[in-house]
Structure 1
Amino acid sequence: MEQVRPGDPRLARRLAAAVEGEVRFDPFTRGRYSTDASIYQIEPIGVVIPRTAADVATAIEIAREEGVPVLPRGAGTSQCGQTVGRALVLDTSRHLNRVLETDVASETVTVEPGIVLDRLNKILKPSGFSFPIDVSPANRATIGGMTGNNSCGARSIQYGIMVHNVLAVDAILADGAQARFAETGGNLPGATDRYADLVRSMDDLYVEEADEIAARIPKVLRKVGGYNIETLGERPRNLAKLLVGSEGTLGFFTKIQLRMHRLPKHRVQAICHFAHFYDAMASTRYIVTLGPSAVELVDRTMIDLARKIPAFAPTIERAVKGEPEALLLVEFSGEDHAALLGKMAELDQMMGDLGYPDAIVPAVDPAFQAKLAEVRSAGLNIMMSMKGDGKPVSFIEDCAVPLDDLADYTQRLTDLFGRNGVEGTWYAHASVGCLHVRPVLNMKDGEDVAKMRRIAEEAFAIVREYKGAHSGEHGDGLVRSEFHEAMFGPRIVRAFERVKDTFDPDGLFNPGKIVRPQRMDDRSLMRYRPDYQALPLETALDWSEWGGFLNAVEMCNNNGTCRKSDPGVMCPSFRATEDEQDVTRGRANSLRLALSGQLGPNALTSDAMKATMDLCVGCKGCKRECPTGVDMARMKLEFLHHWQRRHGLTVRQRLVAYLPRYAHLARHFAAILNLRNRVPALAALGERALGLSRRRSLPAWRADAWRPMAAEGEGAEVVLLADTFNGSFEPENLRAARRVLLAAGYRVVEPPRNGRPLCCGRTFLAAGLIDEARVEARRLIAALAPFLARGAKIVGLEPSCLLTLRDEYAGMLGKEEATGLARSAMLFEEFLAAEQRTGRLNLALRPIGVGEAYLHGHCHQKAFGLVPDVATVLGLVPGLTVKTIEATCCGMAGAFGYEVEHFDVAMRIGELSVLPAVRAAPPEALIVADGTSCRHQIADGAARPALHVARVLERALA
């Protein structure tokens, strides 16, 4: 059908003139939309981000006239390639994401296709209802995508899958007609001719093929392959069920009506341990007889990988005892808590009867259950955190077999992997015989691609032998549509083609999916094609841990966790803009395409790449929260290094970067320099000359800036590291920290300056001046070497500075040179909390007359899991209750929030959570924030002073 080339400017102009939303046909946008979470990559014609359903209708009309296919897209998290294609992509996630109507009486809710499941459930929760098709990517999966894929989730044994819970779909058809697909009677009163023709055609198809459908469509719950033609015989008829699972090939959804379910009052979980994987699979059929709401598998590979991910390691430590080969997470839910505990006791008894006594770890605490759910839902992506070219690949991902055959099926697959010289990873929905299984393959290697096909063909044959389904959750897309004829037989495949041709005779919508597919192993469609390779690049940082910079970027498998909307850190700029360009995935895709030459020469240092990286605030949220370990903050440093080498520094960048070189002199001119904050004309001049926003106050220089002090105190030696920011702008924080450490009985020393003040190099890094930062790092290490040799701890106050010693130094200097300092460097509160845990802390504190402290953690504290240490130390103050603000980045992010071009975004990020929470805090409560930038953002945005934890402890000294 296609008559237009990707990026066609004439089509772009026509669309831009006709739609209210955005039209993007540039190479970087097309590159970002060329992949989803599958192994495929296909460049689209262009991208439209519609604002309204009318925009959708207009774009479809123009596409039809131009002969361009149309591809609907939500979060782009498909495992099978449903959301990539040589088509006009219409992204509904940014604007078409509202709840349109909630009817508690009928227990229904109507939504637009772009709404995210978690957001929908947050809206529904006060009414006591939810939409419980709880897919793993619930915090970014859109209802439109879930409907298109016939998604399932962990609790399908209780609630069914999407086809059982979608009541109606409003859709735009290929000819421009609009129809509501819902329950209809026999005589179709009031139906349009087009709708009536569709109903009659589908009725005829079912009558003709009923026997074949009964014989060939699998009877397992988890059957989502092909079109749901078995539902055509149901009465009352509802063609919405045919659209569910159609992968955008039959019509474009504009409204979806869902069945809501009441939230259970209670849930309890039991973590069942098995020494052997086979035993876990064989036990599942007995466990489900107890009526659980979910039974989820976690295998040894996932346990070991999760232990290495900071966000998940504490949960694994609590949940797992010993070294099991497999876990089954069994959940019971309902209204009577005591009855649920009784069910768990029955499970314990059953486990003993099956030969596994004392094999359960209970999870009754909702907070612990929530942590377990995070690990389980990230399972697929935890598997993808393996470094190197070999990755668990999704292609037999979600076959489903009857429970009686589950153990034998998994054993046969394991044997199949062994014959092909590969290992497999397993996890997920044991309760319904649908396990997510991924052989580890290198998709850059043609031999491994051939192995993929061999494994697929034999695995699907095993599934057919057990009368299972080869698509049990993630649909067909590019990876499984080819195998429909073997799965269902030629008559059913011809029936699928008849459905497609009746709804979309010209093949406008998402061609090549479900019917008339290409080969699943066609390397011309894949992300790693035969000619894929890295361009020559001399990197500034050490990327050897990943095998190179490009390999580190390739850790992004497009799972889209960075698109999540919950209160975690990642990804603050995307949460503010909701633009694919500004999410970690979008940046990683752009870097990968540039580094492999797919965006042309010099793409890495182009203006388009600068725009792509511009709003990354370096929060390191992805370092902790991305399940595959993409560290975009470090990647931005590498990018900035190459950008600055080609383009140079602005005056503003130079002033910020070299701040540590002149800050110690500025105290002599503090009164003059601080006039800028009091004289509007000077602020306006600074905005024009330097690009520092006049709407933002600058940190106030201090005439009483920090001066080195002689060693003092007895006891264990602690080196107090005076950073530039606290030293020049808030020296009272350093004085407070010194007093607290002395009061606790430590000997407080400072490293010799040997000329100008010592610096961690943070400001140079932020400007891309990695060579300058490396010089400062080696100066600091040399000054600290005698203290490190004596085993002293290096204690700092500013998270972004101190944690640079633990993180960026390894990338700049190599692990061997940086390891000693990294092991000894601790934040002030981290050191005190560690001393408290070991019983060595001797700090006498008294009440301070304040009952509550609201704690905002710096992004880097969150990335290293150190916010609980701040709460622990504050909790030492008698009578002080600590409330941690659940928030993403404050928005300031070093110099970012001061810059005129970033001020508005910085404030939008702050308004996501931090600033409203601070304003809502009682006036008498303390606001605690250890980050210099965080305190400034809170002062500017919420008109509240925030204190470093050291100041609070100083106030409480006896």
Structure 2
Amino acid sequence: MTPLERLLNEIAPGMRLETGAGGTAAYSYDASNYRVPPLAVAFPRSTEDVRAVLRACRELDVPVTARGGGTSMAGNAVGPGVVLDFSRHLNQVLDVDVNSRTARVQAGIVLDDLRDAVAPHGLTFGPDPSSHSRCTIGGMIGNDACGNRSVRHGRTSEHVEALEIVTADGVLAVADHTGLHAAAPADEARIDELAARVRRLLADNLAPIRTELGRIPRQVSGYQLHHLLPENGFDVARALVGTEGTCAVVVAATVRLVTVAPASALLVLGYEDVVDAAEDVPEILPWSPTAVEGMDEAIVATMRARRGPESVTGLPGGRAWLYVELDGDNETDVQMRAGELLDTLKALGRMRDGRVIDTEAQRRSLWRVREDGAGLAARLVDGGESWPGWEDAAVAPERLPGYLRDFRALLSGHRLTGVLYGHFGAGCVHVRIDFDFATGTGRAAARRFLREAAELVVRHGGTLSGEHGDGRARGELLEVMYSPRVLTAFAGFKQIFDPDGVLNPGVIVAPAALDADLALDVPQPDGRPTLFTFPHDDDGFAGAARRCVGVGRCRSHTGGVMCPSYRATGEENHSTRGRARLLQEMLLGETVRDGWRSTEVRDALDLCLSCKACSTDCPVGVDMATYKAEFLHQHYRGRLRPRSHYSLGWLPLTSVLAGYVARPLNTVLGGPLGKLAARLGGITTRRTIPAFASRRAMRKALRRKTGKPAALLFVDSFTRAFRPQVVAATSRVLDAAGVPCEPAGGLCCGLTWVSTGQLSVARRVMARTVARLDRGPHRGLPIVVAEPSCAAALKRDVPELLGTEAARRVAARVHTLTGALTDLSTSDWRADVPDSVVLQTHCHEYATFGARRPRDLLRRLGVRKVSEAEGCCGLAGNFGFEAEHYDTSMAVADLSLRPRLDEEPDAVVVADGFSCATQIDHLAGGRGVRALHLAELLDPGEEA
């Protein structure tokens, strides 16, 4: 036990402290270019825990870094000592005062959670970074965050009423608009002396503070000491906002809320380039917009390439776009103003095209493109990578066109490419640049560029940072922006609050070199080559793991499907990001040193449900299910595996044998011997083992009809073994829809061997399947697969594991039933459907066939109400059957599926996935609820 652990065990015995690589490695990163492995990670449950950590660290001279969602792009959420993770426990709304429109919240609360809490009162928190689904209020206070609607609501500092802080020596105090106050009488002398020293520092620097600070709305760089001026009332709360955890640790805050306008309209304007778009910003601002956001074509192209053409709809023609949002009290009035603004901009002649977005679905789709900008720009269509570092400089909005012209010329002069987007209405431009941080020459070139970029933005009267803070990325460059006297004042301010330099050292004051602690390229793994080909990553597995740049969208509890294990546990290591970071650490071999044999990585991957949702929900396309399969293959190579890998991984083979003795076997499995067999196979005894179908039932379902088929019906192992009636129903539905099919039995996609990491077996199985499907008289026919997980395996896993042209040809022919009925059926096909349906969409179908959703098909067929359980069912193939995963499986089900079933207990339930249907049956607990496959719902009957 280290001295730090011993001391904290004495003064904070109930607080969790992680010191091993498995608990700390993921915290070596945020969303920036930097990697700083911490000594320990603490998860405080109370303010007293925070005070204990600070007292102990000060005594032992250990640095402290406060962390919220870990979404910092400037490197201000990583540090070499103790990282305080506020998001795990200190994440509550403590009080809401509707009359004063304020809320008191803990530092670790996620912005969207605060918004949800105050929404019933018609209120919200004004600043809204694109990371609103996972960034915390404490983090927003740390870097004075702004967001898409900063044209209206400005910066976080403008919405802070009071901060509850812990000083570097563990004293609790309150900073507000009138000064600094001790929370306890015993500490009054200490806090009064601190405040007096701040006043003396202010008195000695009035002139430079008045002339150099607060010049433009987005001047985030440095410390905001102008809030302390006499004319501003010695506002210590606002002066501490944006100090990036270098002066005090914020544990709670009282924030001001704003009302939500009843009506709004979104205009999307197309331009030839971003400079033309910037030229129109001064013309738009007098219309009092809530948002004026800009982006270039690279982000849009990447979104369409990654998620399909339907992922971006409603954009007018152009190569750059502005989003302009107007609001008001009346829908008609807002729409009329939007039309007038559109006419005004058309008359100016710079806009190429523009439109008012009519539907809420299109608005959500377009905002998602903008909000995912940082991640999308990290890995572009051509496979190139780009990096932050100069991602949020800002100028006055009227100077934005000139700055952009000069900045693009600077990029060109350095032979660099930048992807531009940002808050154009506030003059703040985000850009990710294709720096070469992997070589010494590239790092030196980046240093030269960043110095010149700083000089350029200062010439335009701007600021190095307009939102993300200086952090490790720009602290060194503050000398370009500020005079020595102001820099000395910054140092003095920090020294007053943190005389021992414990709080987030290397940031803002005495900054580290901007190219120190860079997270360099991870090397290729040692040992034999990987079996997956990773065709979308030039560097194979290393490039795939490096896809994660830390934007943290996987840490969201709402929207999309990823990451179910994080949503169930709240643990960083059980998020997609946490796992990707541990894989990167494994490849680096410094903190995680056992390579493929690493138990730390194994444990982090253990709760991954292999749902594949991250492959589509993650802006950079991290596919953790594939990475997990590869890791398990390498980790257990030449060793005994967990028992469930044999009992569940080899299910396609054992289920064939089970079909010969289905009736007696089902009887045995339903009794005490079944529970014993389950235990021996590593399977939970808290579930009923599904009944196997007999070979006779399967032969009946596989009866072929005469006539020429228009498609092959791939009979997967799950459908063959457990629900052959789905084969017959699918065949009848396809016939009725004008797609007569021929069943193809005796085939397997290899999914169970992939999910358990038995990739050598999977490849052999897949190769046999591809050989059969790629030859013979039906070689060119579409392949329809009733089981979504098997369809996804054929579509993605097979070509990525085999890497052959034949595999790619087969994959191109694969459809789910939904896809076949959408793309292959006759246009006049209809079916009898119920008025309402509860739908559980399989995660693999969501991830791999997202443009063809059962929800949309059901609505087109006339289902009036589709209540979709948006999220993983929790069973996820072998995962929920494994004894050690049962509780997590049920926790995931509780997130979305169980509530939807409980809300509509009498509804028709549809779930194409065998796992989903099995979980629904388990959740129903004997209530007689059985999930129908889509084919069973639409089945016209034998007479078809």
Q: What does 1:361-376 align with in structure 2 at a 5 Å threshold?
A: 361-376=355-370
Match of 1:697 among 677, 681, 688: 688
SS of 1:237's equivalent in the other structure is: coil
Matched AA of 1:637: A
Amino acid at match of 2:649: A
Q: Could you tell me how far apart the structure 2 residues matched to 1:70 and 1:333 are?
A: 43
Q: Deviations over 1:290-328 (max 9, x none)?
A: 211111001122122122121x74242x22244x22101
In structure 1, runs of 5+ residues without a counterpart are 1-7
TM (norm. structure 2) is 0.95
User: Which runs of structure 2 are paired with 1:335-374 in the superposition (5 Å)?
Assistant: 335-356=329-350, 359-374=353-368
Q: Which residue of 1 aligns with 2:599?
A: 607
- 1:340 deviates by 1.4
Gap change, CA 1:865 and 1:347, over 3 Å in 2 = farther
Q: Report the equivalent of 1:582.
A: 574
Cα distance in 2, alignment partners of residues 614 and 608 from structure 1? 10
Aligned twin of 1:893: 876
Whole-Å separation in 1 of the counterparts to 2:240 and 2:848? 45
Query: What CA distance in whole angstroms lies between the structure 2 residues aligned with 1:126 and 1:546?
Result: 45
What does residue 271 of structure 2 align with?
A: 274
Do 2:175 and 2:181's aligned partners in 1 also have CA atoms closer than 8 Å?
no
The aligned residue for residue 774 of structure 1 is: 763
- The change in CA–CA distance for 1:502 and 1:764 in structure 2 (over 3 A counts) is same
Q: How far apart are the structure 1 equivalents of 2:215 and 2:475?
A: 19
State the Cα distance separating 1:882 from its structure 2 match.
3.9
- Structure 1 equivalent of residue 897 of structure 2: 914
Residues 397 and 436, structure 1, Cα contact 8 Å, conserved in 2: yes
Q: Kindly state the Cα deviation for residue 922 of structure 1 after the two structures are TM-superposed.
A: 4.4
- Could you tell which deviates more after superposition, 827-836 or 623-632? 827-836
The answer on 1:294 being equivalent to 2:276 is: no
CA contact (8 A) 1:855 1:882 kept: no
Going from structure 1 to structure 2, the CA distance change for 1:544 and 1:846 (only over 3 Å counts) comes to closer
> 1:28 deviation in Å?
2.9
Q: For residues 187 and 357 of structure 1, what CA distance do their matches in structure 2 show?
A: 53
Q: 1:657 aligns with which of 649, 659, 680?
A: 649
Question: Does the CA-based 8 Å contact 1:667-1:705 persist in structure 2?
Answer: no
Separation in structure 1 between the aligned mates of residue 751 and residue 911 of structure 2, nearest angstrom: 19
Contact 1:715 1:745 in 2 (8 A): no
Q: Report the equivalent of 1:3.
A: none
The whole-number CA distance in structure 1 between the counterparts of 2:542 and 2:92 is: 38
Please list, as runs of the form range in 1=range in 2, the aligned pairs for 1:61-80 lying within 5 A after superposition: 61-80=55-74
Task: Quote the Cα distance in structure 2 between the aligned partners of 1:245 and 1:534.
Answer: 40
1:306 maps to 2:303: yes
Letter in 2 for 1:180: V
Over residues 351-405 of structure 1, what are the superposed CA-to-partner deviations in whole Å (9 max), with x where a residue is unaligned?
Answer: 2221146611221323322222211111111100237895322222111112222
Partner of 1:644: 636
Offset, 1:742:
2.7
Tell me the amino acid that sits aligned with residue 401 of structure 1.
Answer: V
Equivalence for 1:257? 254
2 CA distance for matches of 1:606 and 1:581?
14
Structure 1 residue 788: Cα displacement? 7.3
What SS does the corresponding residue of 2:566 show, helix, strand or coil? helix
1:635 is the counterpart of 2:630: no
Q: SS of the residue aligned with 2:103?
A: strand
1:509 aligned to 2:503? yes
Match of 2:195 among 192, 199, 205: 199
**CA 1:101/1:683 → structure 2, altered by over 3 Å: closer, same or farther?**
farther
Cα distance in 2 for partners of 1:476, 1:533 equals 32
Deviation at 1:264, TM superposition (A): 1.2
Alignment check: 8 A CA contact 1:71 1:89 kept: yes
- SS of 2:529's partner is coil
Relative to structure 1, the CA distance from residue 676 to residue 296 in structure 2 (aligned partners, 3 Å threshold; closer, same or farther) is farther
One-letter identity of the residue aligned with 1:654: Y
Aligned ranges 1:757-772 → 2 under 5 Å: 757-772=746-761
Give per-residue Cα distances to partners, 1:876-903, cap 9 Å, x unaligned.
Answer: 656x324141421111010111111000
Residue 947 in 1 paired to residue 941 in 2? no
Deviation at 1:872, TM superposition (A): 4.1
Report the AA paired with residue 801 of structure 1: C
How far, CA to CA, are the matches of 1:185 and 1:632 in structure 2?
49
Give the structure 2 partner of residue 856 of structure 1: 840
**Secondary structure of 1:645's aligned partner:** coil
SS in 1 for 2:939: helix
1:700-743, CA deviations, whole angstroms, 9 ceiling, x for partnerless residues?
11235412734315455221111111111111111111222233
- The answer to whether the 8 Å contact 2:181/2:192 transfers is no
* CA deviations over 1:4-58 (Å, ceiling 9, x no partner): xxxx734234434533232111123322111111111111111111222222122
Residue 918 (structure 2) pairs with residue 933 (structure 1):
no
Amino acid paired to 2:763? R
Q: Secondary structure at the match of 1:630?
A: coil
Report the aligned-residue RMSD: 2.3
- How far the C-alpha of 1:648 sits from its partner, in A, is 2.6
- Give the conservation status (yes or no) of the 8 Å contact 2:787–2:816: yes
Q: Secondary structure at the match of 1:289?
A: helix
Counterpart of 1:208 (choices 191, 204, 208) is 204
Structure 1 661/690 Cα, relative in aligned 2: closer, same or farther at 3 Å? closer
Instruction: State the TM-score, normalized to the length of structure 1.
Output: 0.94
Contact 1:620/1:632 (<8 A) preserved? yes
Shift of 1:425: 1.2
> For the residues of structure 2 that align with 1:385 and 1:713, how far apart are their CA atoms?
50
Write the deviation string for residues 556-594 of structure 1: whole angstroms up to 9, x where unpaired: 111111111113111000111111111111111111111
Residues 482-510 of structure 1, C-alpha deviation per residue, up to 9 Å, x if partnerless? 12222111111111111111111111211
Name the structure 2 match of 1:44. Answer: 38
TM-aligned CA distance change 1:357 to 1:325, over 3 Å: closer
**Worse-matched range after superposition: 350-359 or 35-44:** 350-359
Counterparts of 2:507 and 2:407 in 1: how far apart (Å)?
Answer: 26
The CA distance in 1 between the partners of 2:234 and 2:95, in whole Å, is 24
Q: Deviations over 1:904-935 (max 9, x none)?
A: 00000010111111111141x20101000001
Kept in 2, the 8 Å contact 1:938–1:945? The answer is yes
- The 2-side partners of 1:370 and 1:473 are apart by 24
**Alpha-carbon distance in structure 1 between the residues aligned to 2:735 and 2:150:** 59
**CA 1:377–1:357 in 2, change beyond 3 Å: closer, same or farther?**
closer
Take 1:188 and 1:779, find their aligned partners in 2: how far apart are those partners?
A: 74
What's 2:314 paired with?
A: 319
Deviation (angstroms), 1:204:
2.3
State the match for 1:721 in structure 2.
Answer: 714
3-state DSSP class of the match of 1:657?
coil
1:387–1:555: 8 Å Cα contact kept in structure 2?
A: no
- Displacement of 1:941: 1.7
Equivalence map 1:158-557=2 (5 Å): 158-184=152-178, 192-233=188-229, 234-310=231-307, 313-316=309-312, 318-322=313-317, 324-356=318-350, 359-386=353-380, 391-522=385-516, 525-528=517-520, 535-547=526-538, 548-557=540-549
TM-superposition CA deviations, 1:166-202 (whole Å, max 9, x none): 1111011112211011133799998922222232222
Secondary structure of residue in 2 paired with 1:740: helix
AA at the equivalent of 1:227: Y
Asked if residue 624 in structure 1 is aligned to residue 601 in structure 2, the reply is: no
Displacement after TM superposition at 1:162 (Å): 0.6
Of stretches 683-692 and 109-118 in structure 1, the one that deviates more from structure 2 is 683-692
Moved more, 118-127 or 664-673: 664-673
Q: How far apart are 1:337 and its partner, in Å? A: 1.5
Q: 2:837–2:909: 8 Å Cα contact kept in structure 1?
A: yes
How many equivalent pairs are there?
A: 933
Partner of 1:122: 116
Question: Which ranges of structure 2 fall in alignment gaps of 5 or more residues?
Answer: none
Q: Does the CA-based 8 Å contact 1:856-1:914 persist in structure 2?
A: yes
SS in 2 for 1:810: helix
Give the equivalent residue in structure 2 for 1:739: 732
CA-CA distance at 1:684 after TM superposition: 4.2
3-state SS of 2:661 partner: helix
